[in-house]
Amino acid sequence: MNIEEGSLVLIYIDRKRKKIVRVERGREYASDRGKIDLSELIGRRYGEVVETSLGFKAYLLMPTLEDILYSFSRRTQVIYPKDVALMAIKLGAGKGKRCLEGGTGSGFVTATLSWFGCEVHTFEVRREHLETARLNLRKFGLNENVTFVKASLKEVAEVYPKEYFDLAIIDVGDPWKVIDSVWEVLKGGSSVAFWVPTFNQLEKLKAAIRGKFIWIEALEVSERRLKVEEGATRPEQFGITFTGYMAIVRKVNNK
């Protein structure tokens, strides 16, 4: 696949020196390993190797969703790809599904759901967080199927009709306070992922959903990277350890 003007390219020199750039004439990529004239990338193919001005090899790669997420500006703690990807699978995220998000933050979840093809409606009370997420998604063309709402999730039933959404991901400080509102706008049988940082919050959440949702499971996702060398493969010294807990529940109609 050829690189064109306006294409996104991951310039990869090594794990510490990689960056997504938009190819434009008159612009350059610069690092301590040298510079690359971006206009010279037009017409090349993804996967090719070029040299920087200092003679270091740089690989021209197609950015993945993970590459895009880790290039986002961040104002908040985020739900990492290892967690949000599993949520999306467990909830059945996919093209055309209407998804409610509570707590936009920096846009990691929003972007992932958009990438999966969902119609995303994301609620955030802080304007600066909403603007950061909006800019992050717009930069990579992931904003077209996203509606940003500056409001508390408690108000969702005032904005959307009953049983409007197919799934939801909720990352707010006191999730038990939005149970009734979320229940109103979800279709019967729909799945919700709640994200919380402590066991106490999991316990309080489980008590709060009774009669409106059934508790499917609670879990955390561990990720351990490996340093691979012949005869000396071992876990890397640093990495992402604890990030939080997800609770998966499903809406029921107990009447």
Three-class secondary structure of residue 105 per DSSP: coil
* Residue 165 structure tokens: 């959404």
DSSP of 216-246: EEEE------EE--TT--EE-SS------EE
The HSE-up count of residue 71 (CA atoms within 13 Å, CB side) is 22
128 carries a ligand binding annotation: no
- In the block, residue with structure tokens 């971006």: 38
129 carries a ligand binding annotation: yes
121 carries a ligand binding annotation: no
Q: What CA dihedral angle connects 178, 87, 244 and 151, to 10 degrees?
A: -30
- Alpha carbon distance 148, 41 (integer Å): 35
Residue 34 forms beta bridges with which residues? Answer: 31
DSSP of 18-58: EEEEE--TT-EEEETTEEEEGGGGTT-BTT-EEE-TTS-EE
Q: Count other Cβ atoms within 10 Å, centred on residue 148.
A: 19
| Residues making up the binding site for S-adenosyl-L-methionine | 124, 129, 171
